[in-house]
Structure 1
């Protein structure tokens, strides 16, 4: 029998992941660098945090997925009314869902849409879904 050690926590940490705090007296930050020895560098500069997490905490997405998410949210949040934002987000989610590699981004966008729905008490007009999901 061969022992395979479990993956270290650093194996799951990605650049740009949010870190609420490192020690007792530290500010929140983001992972700025992963070193070969397994250690990571945390940047607590607010601009660095905002670079990756402009609209919400996107820990779990790769840096390129974070960029896609933030670009979409920048476009959506530049719209005036929440009802317009909800509809536009639904369109973007539907287009992203057609590509399996974009599932995580579309899940994060769905969470943002749910937040907008709660704030505005408005719903999307059009939904794309599978027929078997209908009741």
Structure 2
């Protein structure tokens, strides 16, 4: 298990569980967390971030609902297999990715202009 680069800004208006969910989703979707890679336990990640376990559990539940992770007794929580390739992205999926990226960027302290600059550079 690699060390996760997840940060939570307690002064952000974005709830901590959403910051965790968005950052982990971005790591998974971009391939920085590989299929079958094990994630920390809820208790471990909560302790690492100084949060209540319920906060991390909610983020994990939402990631499971999005089929990005899976939890199995004895095997822990792991990154799920990516969905089959699609020729065209669904607008709802693009909106989710944009929201995830924006939430993660804001959790890192980026303002709107920095986020837009990063997206423009990524598109080029």
Task: Assess same fold via TM > 0.5.
Answer: no
Larger radius of gyration: 1
TM-score by length of 2: 0.30
Query: RCO greater where, 1 or 2, for CA within 8 Å and sep 6 or more?
Result: 2
TM-score, with normalisation over the residues of structure 1?
Answer: 0.28
